[in-house]
Amino acid sequence: MTPTDTRLLQLLAQTFPDSESASTEIINLEAILSLPKGTEHFVADIHGEHEAFLHILRNASGNIKRKVRDLFEGTLPDAVLRDLCTLIYYPEKRLEMLEANTDEDLSDFYARTLLRLIQVCRSVSSKYTRSKVRKALPRQFAYIIEELLHESPSDDDKKAYVRRIVHTIIQTGQARNFIVAICNVIQKLSIDQLHILGDIFDRGPGAHIIMDYLLTRDNFDMQWGNHDILWMGAAAGNDACIASVLRLSLRYANLTTLEDGYGINLLPLATFALETYADDPCLEFMPQPLAGPAIDEKNMHLLAKMHKAITVIQLKKEAELYRRHPEWKMQDRCLLENIDYERGLCTIDGKEYPMRSCHFPTVVDTDLRSALTPAEEELMQKLHHSFRVSEKLLKHIRTILSHGCMYNICNRNLLFHASVPLCDDGTLKEVEILGKRYSGRDLMEYIGRLVRAAFQHDTPRELKAYARDYFLYLWCGPDSPLFDKSKMATFERYFLSDPATHHEEKGAYYKLREDPAVCARILDAFGVEGKNRHIINGHVPVHASRGENPIKADGMLMVIDGGFSRAYHETTGIAGYTLVYHSRGFQLIQHEPFTSTQDAVARGTDIKSSTQIEVMTGHRIQVRDTDKGRQLQMQIDELRQLLYAYRHGILKENTKR
């Protein structure tokens, strides 16, 4: 052994001080390698639809319902099976409803339900070690649940033992708490690892609720989406991102996340909009509510004025950054400078287009028409402050930073939100950042470091300022891996009627990603090896109603944005995909629109989900076949070296500990 080997083994010996402890750990790890791999769930483009997202996690994309049916179908009526599933998904709310609607003694119900839940919990925990299951158990009931899970259901004596435990739980008044605890354990163990492929934010009302839920989980990772980056930029203090976040929220009349979630004060914007656009009906800025209670006409007009006010400010703040960074080559997007306000025309690429409206009371006829007025400057200072002091927003952004990045590689699957910039011939495109050129994996990793630099106290001032500005490029820059289009046609969609100006030409990745050779080249560039390797991403909704297949490139690419957001339901024809990767292979689950949590609890409604595609491996995948298994094998090899060192006197054992 080299001196380095010996030093490493000495460190390992602090945890395993003798042959017996090292041998025991080897036996334990070898046993874990032989277990079936845990179930991974992949979800993309949630867009604030917290009720649908959380329901899918609660039912594990229908897996819990399948477990319940496998255990009890033929012995219990469908209505009872449905009620049992609803109880597992929403134990607190379901029990509250049952207890409120009856004056009868619920002891028999508690006893039946506990015995059934124990069977379900035993089934979902069967692929894990006792140690892992123990860690998932609530502390106050851990010992009892563990006893119930590991007693033989076929032994008459043990049956009596289990029933006695159940009877005592009810007698001591702990039935309700115990049912809630065991339902939560079932939910937790049904999903071993959660992968979120971007876009938690915007459109729907509950992005903050989704983030609060994720804070309760350990086993998740994120790949940042363009909408996530927009909110991260706002939290970092990028005023163009702040304005864009506000514009998108007002566009869909969705202020819940801003006001209730993060405490953003919108009163200054409302006051400014009413004063500045008092005589403007702002018809082209009328919100498009996706859900929630009806909004009266007066408030709709107020939201429209706020919508226009922040849109104009956004265009001005974006132009400021485009002029500051000519290397982005986006100065042509300073379109407020291209308007002939007297003739009502805007010039783009040498062609004139009629404007829908030329009412811009804050655009001053100077050499720099995209400069903010003093009133707009004062408003942006207030909005900037509101975002920067939101503790909850910063807490959520820290979670996004700690659990995510631009890409991830897990079990031979390359995960990212949108694209890898490509040239037209399918080769990796080099993108210049701060005078250096990056492509593929290097590009993703450098962007990840740059994003984090915007939030680090030790980042040099100039780099931090650039990192803060760069959030806008990531949101709408042509070579951004999170956008990858020729332009973001915000101005054109609001102000120009000609639909030709609304077109956003997609980058080469979206045109070439169905080619297996291109996908193989990308996987090679990221170091993903093996026969069963895949790219998994979202970002662009799959139009299932038009027959589009989410599986592309002969199975090498899986696109799982099926339209969680209500904004896409009509065009996609569905309400989202979940990709499930378990020990038998892949299942792509297609979900129909979710009604509401209230309906699910009161009437037992569930998301109608169907398996669209199954890619089975032909053999059961074990932990040893996964990334985790390879890490465990390395630990086993190190422990075997330690065992050798003990047995050959290279290291002395500490048998007194």
Burial class (CB in 10 A: 0-12, 13-18, 19+), 648: exposed
Identify whether the C-beta of residue 43 lies closer than 8 Å to the C-beta of residue 195: yes
Task: Give burial (CB, 10 Å; 0-12/13-18/19+) of 365.
Answer: exposed
**More confident position, 158 or 475:** 475
Region 142-160: mean pLDDT is 77
Distances (CA, A) of 83 to 79, 407, 601: 6, 40, 9
- Written as six digits, the tokens of 525 are 């560039």
The pLDDT value given to residue 619: 80
In whole angstroms, how far apart are CA 361 and each of 199, 279, 298, 354, 365? 34, 10, 22, 19, 10
Whether the pLDDT of residue 655 is over 80: the answer is no
C-alpha to C-alpha distances, 464 to 322, 467, 481, nearest whole angstrom: 17, 5, 21
- Give the whole-angstrom CA distance, residue 593 versus residue 605: 11
User: Is the per-residue pLDDT at 615 higher than 80?
Assistant: no
* pLDDT one-digit tens code per residue, 250-300: 999 999 999 999 999 999 999 999 999 999 999 999 998 877 778 899 999
Half-sphere exposure of 386 (CA within 13 A, CB side): 22
Look at residue 225 in the predicted model and tell me its pLDDT: 96
Q: Are 522 and 508 in contact (CB under 8 A)?
A: no
Give φ, ψ of 587 to 5 degrees: -130, 130
**pLDDT value at position 158?**
72
Is the confidence at residue 123, as pLDDT, over 70? yes
Q: What is the DSSP letter of 337?
A: G
β-pairing, 413-416 vs 534-537, is parallel
Backbone φ and ψ of 557, nearest 5°: -125, 130
pLDDT band, residue 620 (cuts 50/70/90): confident
Specify whether the CB–CB gap between 114 and 175 falls below 8 A. Answer: yes
Q: What's the chain's average pLDDT?
A: 90
- Give the closest residue to 388 by CA, choosing from 540, 534, 265: 265
Does the pLDDT of residue 194 top 80, yes or no?
Answer: yes
Percent of the chain with pLDDT over 70: 95
What is the average per-residue pLDDT within 588-600?
A: 81
pLDDT single digits (tens) 80-99: 999 999 999 999 999 999 88
Q: How many CB atoms lie within 10 A of CB 244?
A: 28
pLDDT at 561: 80
- Block residue for tokens 């970002």: 539
- What's the pTM value of the predicted model, to 2 decimals? 0.91
Asked whether the beta carbons of 33 and 188 are under 8 A apart, the reply is no
CA-closest candidate to residue 367, choices 343, 345, 336, 342: 336
> CB-side exposure of 5: number of CA atoms within 13 Å?
12
Q: What is the pLDDT of residue 560?
A: 87
Amino acid at 153: P
* Structure confidence at residue 268 (pLDDT): 97
364 pLDDT band, cuts 50/70/90, is confident
Helix (H) or strand (E) holding 36, with range, is none
Choose among 207, 627, 193: nearest CA to 400.
Answer: 207
CA distances from 632 to 20, 66, 195, 627 (A): 19, 31, 21, 9
What single string gives the DSSP state of each residue in 94-143?
A: HHHHHHHT--S--HHHHHHHHHHHHHHHHHHTTTS-HHHHHHHS-GGGHH
CB 604 within 8 A of CB 598: no
Residue with tokens 């979800």: 43
| pLDDT score, position 232 | 98
Q: How far, in Å, CA of 645 to CA of 252, rounded?
A: 66
> Are 407 and 414 contacting, i.e. CB atoms less than 8 angstroms apart?
yes
Structure confidence at residue 154 as a pLDDT band (50, 70, 90): low
On the question of pLDDT at 152 being above 70, the answer is no
Cα–Cα distance between 171 and 234 in angstroms, integer? Answer: 54
* CB-side neighbour CA atoms (13 Å) of 392: 14
Q: In the predicted model, is pLDDT for residue 563 greater than 80?
A: no
Q: Which whole number is the average pLDDT over 348-370?
A: 87
Q: Which two tokens stand for residue 540?
A: 């662009």
pLDDT for 153: 61
The answer to whether the Cα torsion of 221, 227, 230, 235 is positive or negative is negative
Query: What element of type H or E holds 74?
Result: none
Question: With 80 as the cut, is the pLDDT of residue 543 above it?
Answer: no
pLDDT at 573 over 90: no
Who has greater pLDDT, 565 or 434?
434
Residue labelled with tokens 């299942």: 587
Confidence of residue 484 (pLDDT cuts 50, 70, 90): very high
pLDDT at 610: 65
Q: At 204, is the secondary structure helix, strand, or coil?
A: coil
Residue 179 confidence (pLDDT): 93
Q: Which residue has the higher pLDDT, 204 or 393?
A: 393
438: its two tokens: 């990056």
Please write the tens of the pLDDT for every residue from 20-58.
999 999 999 999 999 989 889 999 999 999 988 898 889
Residue 305, pLDDT > 60, answer yes
Whether 353 and 344 have beta carbons less than 8 Å apart is answered as no
